[in-house]
Amino acid sequence: MKHHFITIEGNIGVGKTTLANLLARQLNARLILEEFADNPFLPKFYENPAQYAFPLELFFMAERYKQLKEMVHTKELFQTVTVSDYLFTKCLLFAKVNLPEEEFRLYQKLFDIIHQQLVFPDILIYLHAPVSKLQQNIKKRNREFEQSIPDEYLFNIQETYTHYIKQHNIKTLFIDASNADFQGNEAHIKVILDALENDYEDGQHYFTLP
């Protein structure tokens, strides 16, 4: 395996965790999953974004930092590959969408201090799906606090992600996940596994699923 730290990203409901679990199993990799359910501010944020956005994002940043910092200091003897279902920069991208300008500037200062202490992934797998598909997936997984997420919010998240990836020229496997069924269609997961066998230059490398 040419890539030892693989990160999966994408919008809410696109299938990051499902793919991360499958890849970790296939690659015998250590798995790092976002512990979003432990954030007590998440249901409150969806009810009242203006009041709870800042504590929500601070809590997420602290938890993600703790997880990824532990990864840096822990070496697994029999697992040389790590798969994560989030990029630490996700903190900054969501904060940019959710916070007013003054709070975002403060948040960014904290982020910049913390971010440089972490290891950046070797490659990013970005799953892209239209908002209509995301809404279908969100309804299907049936988390109560997610059921009223507006399309506009998902569009904003999508735009923020794609702008960041292109602006920073990150080494990215950009996957069209419009029809993704990683659990039910072996050909879909094979596209990802085959792609990971190759080395890539920085920038976006586009793939579609059969």
Task: For residues 148 and 170, give the distance between their C-alpha atoms in angstroms, rounded to a whole number.
Answer: 32
User: pLDDT digit of tens for each residue in the chain (210 aa)?
Assistant: 689 999 999 999 999 999 999 999 999 999 999 987 788 999 999 999 999 999 999 999 999 999 998 876 666 656 789 999 999 999 999 999 999 999 999 999 999 999 988 989 999 999 999 999 999 999 998 888 888 899 999 999 999 999 999 998 889 999 999 999 999 999 999 999 999 999 899 999 999 999
Catalytic residue among 38, 85, 112, 122: 85
Q: Based on the structure, what is the number of domains in the chain?
A: 1
Q: How far apart are the first and last CA of the chain?
A: 24
CATH of the domain at 71: 3.40.50.300
User: Is residue 194 annotated as part of the catalytic site, yes or no?
Assistant: no
The pTM of the full predicted model, rounded to 2 decimals, is 0.93
Q: Smallest Cα–Cα separation from 45: which of 99, 114, 111, 5?
A: 99
Query: Which domain covers residue 35, as residue numbers?
Result: 5-208
Exposed/middle/buried for residue 164 (C-beta within 10 Å: 0-12, 13-18, 19+): middle
Q: Which ranges of 74-210 would DSSP assign to H, the alpha helix? A: 90-98, 101-115, 131-141, 151-168, 186-196
